[in-house]
Structure 1
C-alpha cells in the first residue's frame, strides 16, 4: 500500500548590493552530503507538527536561519524509491542581513554546504525537476516584485461552550477544555507567519483563543467590538470595513480572530481593500470550523496587487 510522507520547506531569499551598487536577488541552495544533490531546505514533519511549523523548524535546522513564512508557493508531489509518495509544501522566506549574520550553520553529516546564488543561475543548479517547477512559481512572484509580503490571518475562535450552558450572555461563553487545547495548539502554528498585530472580537471565546499566541509572541491583543457577532448582528459594518482597510494599508502581518457569521464579510473586505478579483475562493477561505484559519498573503510594496495566495487550515484535534 502506498504511503504518503508529508514534508515542508522554504525558498530563502535576500537582496544584496553588487559591487556596482545595483540590487540583486539571491536564493539559498543547500548541498546535501548523503544524497549528493542541490535543493532547497525542507524536511519531514515531526509527530503532531503542522506544515508551517515544520517549514520554519527544518529551515532553521538545515541552515541556521530563523525565518518567517512569506508567500505560499504551493506543494510538490513526487514518488520515492519503493513507491511511496512524498508531498512537500513550500513558502518563500525573506532573509534579512541581520538574520543572515545570526545564522548558526556549520557543515554537518546532512548538509555539506550552503550557497547563495543569483536567481538567474539557481534553476540550472537544482538537481530535481520538481524543485525547478517550484522555483518557477517563485519566479512568478519575483519578476513583478511581489516577494516582499505580509499576511492577514482570519481565525475562527476555538470550540466554546453551548449557548446558555455556562454563561447568561452569549459573548461571555468560555472555551471548552477541547477549545483550550486548540488555542494552545494554534499558537506555534500562527507564530510561523510572524504576526505583528493581533486583533480580536471582544467575546470571551475569541480572546481566550488568541491568548496563548499573544503570550508566545509578546504582543497585546487589540480588542475590537466591530469584530464581534453582536456588532455584526446590528448590520452596520462601517467600522469593520475601516479596520480591515487599515490593516491592509499598514502592511503588517496580522491575526484577526472572529466568529463564523462575521468571517465571510471580513474576507470580502480583504478582497475589496486589496483590489482583488472576486471568486469562490474568498467564501471557501471563510468557511472555517472552530479553531480553523485562513492566511491571506499580500504584497507589502504593492498592496493593490491583490491577494497573492490563500492557505486554509481546518485545525485537526
Structure 2
C-alpha cells in the first residue's frame, strides 16, 4: 500500500443558505477543473480545526463571511489515489451584508456560484455523498429548525495547582500551558459566531475567556453562580437563571465554568429547552481542560429541544 493510500485527508465545508422573501435559497459552487457542482469545502491547514477550516474555505471559495450553525454530519470517501478523505459540514446562514461585500470572481478553482431554492438543490449536486448531507439540511428546513443558535459549555484551561503560593481556590491563575490553551481556543470558538461570553468569577475561568473577549471586543459577564464555590455550597438558582436567560436571548453564547458544574449546566440547558435527558449530556460534559461542547438550538422554537451537540477537546 502506498503512503498516499494510507493518508487520511481531513476537510470541512458548509451548506450556505439565505432567506429571500419567504424562501430558503442554498448556495452551490461550480468547480472549474472538476466540472462538478458541490458545496464550499477544503482541506485543513496545519494546526487548524474543522470549524476554522469550514469558515476559511467558505470565504476563500465564495467571498462570503459566515459563522457556523448546526452540524450536518460527516462524509467519508476514497480518492482516486486510494487515500481516504473525511469532510465535515455545517449549515451556515449568509446575511445580506455578507452578500453585499462579497468579492467573488470566477477563478481557477470555482467558476461560478449559484443560489437555488431548496427544492431544486438536491438534483443539481454531482455526488451522492453531498446529497446525503443536503438531506439532513433539508429535513431541518422542513421542520423550520435551520435558523439556530449555539450555547457553548467550556471548561476552563489548565490552572496552577493549589499550594502555599495559591492557597485560595478561586484565585488560582492559569498555568503557562493553560494560557496557551486559552489563546488556542479563540479561532475555533470564533467560527461559531460568539456574541456573548459568560464566566465563573474564578480567576482561571475569567483568564480562559479573556483572549476570546479581547479578540471579539466583547465584555465578559461574570457570575458567581457559575463558580465551583457556589456549586459546592449547593446554590443552583443562579445557574438556572443564567441558562434560562441565555436560551431566551437566543444568541451564540460561551459559558466558561468548572468540571463539577458542567453536568448541572447541561442538565439545566436540557430542562430549559424541553430536551430529553440521556447519556449524551454526561458525555458532552466529560471535558478535559479547555475542552468545550457546542449545543445547537432552534432560534424560533428553542423549546423544540437540543438539535445537536459537538465536542471539542483542545490539544496543543
Question: When the two structures are superposed, what TM-score results if normalisation uses the length of structure 2?
Answer: 0.97
2: CA distance, partners of 1:4 / 1:111: 24
Equivalent residue runs for 1:28-177 within 5 Å: 28-164=27-163, 166-177=165-176
CA distance in 1, matches of 2:165, 2:174: 10
Residue 170 of structure 1: how far off its partner (Å): 0.6
CA contact (8 A) 2:226 2:238 kept: no
SS at match of 1:308: strand
1:141 counterpart SS class: helix
Question: What TM-score does the superposition give when structure 1 sets the normalisation length?
Answer: 0.97
CA deviations 1:282-314 (Å, max 9, x no partner) are 110000000000000000000001000000001
Is the counterpart of residue 204 in structure 1 residue 203 in structure 2? Answer: yes
Deviation digits for residues 102-156 of structure 1 (CA, Å, limit 9, x no counterpart): 1111111100000000111110110111000000010111101101110000000
Residue in 2 that maps onto 1:223: 222
1:31-85 CA distances to partner (integer Å, 9 max, x unpaired)? 0001111000000000000000000000000000000101111111111112111
- Partner residue in 1 for 2:13: 9
SS at match of 1:187: helix
How far residue 165 of structure 1 moved from its aligned partner, in angstroms, is 5.7
**TM alignment of 1:293-312, pairs within 5 A:** 293-312=292-311
Contiguous gaps of at least 5 residues in structure 1 = 18-22
Structure 2, unaligned stretches of length 5 or more? none
1:177-223 Cα deviation digits (max 9, x unpaired):
11100000001110111111100000111011000000111100010
Aligned partner of 1:193 in structure 2 is 192
Conserved? CA contact 2:147–2:299, under 8 Å: yes
- Residue aligning to 2:283: 284
8 Å Cα contact 2:225-2:239 kept in structure 1? yes
Aligned partners of 1:263, 1:217: CA distance in 2, in Å? 24
